[in-house]
Structure 1
Amino acid sequence: MTNEKPADDSASLLLDQQLCFALYAAQRAVTAAYRPLLDELGLTYPQYLVLLVLWERGETTVKELAAALRLDYGTVSPLLKRLEAAGLVRRERSARDERSVLVAVTGRGEKLRERAQCVPASLLAATELAEAEVARLREELWQLTRKAEAAADRSR
């Protein structure tokens, strides 16, 4: 048995020492950096993410869209309503499965894709991040995501 005192745990409860807070602050800052770029397109950041999935995958179900965005149906549905009201997407029941709703980009949404092509490069320029730095950060964040999801699954 040693006579060592336990480590001081007070530092573990400092806000700036929290991984979750650093991620939260970074997410808010990145979203704020996107705002002027997306304002030019008439989109919010979550709407932009929805369109990114649809531009990449084409017509998809609401369920698949929600899974790709890691959001629940109740969060995706209002986003889709606003995008549909803006004429950027269309929703319709699947002929094969009435329970399933399909979402697709409209012609107007496809035209917006052309204007959105400059957003990723503009964000890099605005943040002064090099492509290699972004790639490294993205990979580290995806690793963290996988580990956090596994930890959450273990605790269920």
Structure 2
Amino acid sequence: MTLPKPPTLDQHLCFLIYNTSLKMTQTYKPLLSALNLTYPQYLVMVVLWEEDGLGVKDVAERLQLDSGSVTPVVKRLEAEGYLSRDRDPRDERNRVLTLTAVGQALRAAALKVSQDFAAECRIGHDEVGTLMATLGKLNRNLTD
């Protein structure tokens, strides 16, 4: 009796997602260096460009991370002058993040990063939509 063979590495969806994620981060790296941002810093900034004045805990939740992982990133952004951290008057343990004028102005430059990244991907808008929908569904299914 022959035992069934396990899937090869290339047949593992998890590997393809992992490998693609690494390549995406590497593609972003030179694009973000012009803004003096790392990829994690960029993600925090994207959240704050969507909604300024969030707490560290709220940003961490949006990024699906714990606040302990986000805090060092936020501190570096503060040191760069992109945001300020102030105590939340409703919860002294939390810090409210507010974009500075420099951090707000960076948003326009980040638009070019998004456009350049999209060009690097060389896939159409419809394909991106389909990928986002499918990966979103996978993400939700794995969260349940």
* TM-score interval, normalised by the smaller of the two chains: over 0.9
Which residue does 1:70 correspond to in 2?
Answer: 64
Distance in structure 2 (CA, Å) of the matches to 1:16 and 1:6: 22
Partner of residue 25 from structure 1, selected from 13, 19, 28: 19
Partner of residue 94 from structure 1, selected from 88, 92, 105: 88
Question: How many residues are treated as equivalent by the alignment?
Answer: 144
| Contact preservation (8 Å) 1:11, 1:17 | no
Which residue does 1:135 correspond to in 2?
Answer: 129
Distance in structure 2 (CA, Å) of the matches to 1:81 and 1:62: 11
Q: How far is 1:40 from its partner?
A: 1.1
Q: Does 1:11 align with 2:6?
A: yes
SS, match of residue 60 in structure 1: coil
TM-score normalised per structure 1: 0.87
Which residue does 2:106 correspond to in 1?
Answer: 112
Point out the structure with max Rg over C-alpha: 1
Q: How far is 1:11 from its partner?
A: 2.6
Distance in structure 2 (CA, Å) of the matches to 1:98 and 1:35: 35
TM-score normalised per structure 2: 0.94
RMSD across aligned C-alpha pairs, in angstroms?
A: 1.4
1:82-121 per-residue CA deviation (whole Å, 9 max, x = no partner) reads 1010000110111222122111111110111111111222
Distance in structure 2 (CA, Å) of the matches to 1:130 and 1:39: 26
Structure 1 residues 95 and 126, CA, compared in 2 at 3 Å: closer, same or farther? same
Which residue does 1:46 correspond to in 2?
Answer: 40
- Once structures 1 and 2 are overlaid, which stretch shifts more, 121-130 or 81-90? 121-130
Q: How far is 1:7 from its partner?
A: 6.3
Q: Which amino acid aligns with 1:11?
A: P
Q: How far is 1:6 from its partner?
A: 7.8
SS, match of residue 132 in structure 1: helix
Structure 1 residues 114 and 147, CA, compared in 2 at 3 Å: closer, same or farther? same
Distance in structure 1 (CA, Å) of the matches to 2:51 and 2:3: 51
Runs of 4 or more consecutive aligned structure 1 residues displaced over 6 Å after TM superposition? none
1:6-43 per-residue CA deviation (whole Å, 9 max, x = no partner) reads 861x233x222222111100100111111111111111
Distance in structure 2 (CA, Å) of the matches to 1:6 and 1:123: 47
What percentage of residue pairs aligned between the two structures are identical?
Answer: 41
- Once structures 1 and 2 are overlaid, which stretch shifts more, 42-51 or 114-123? 114-123
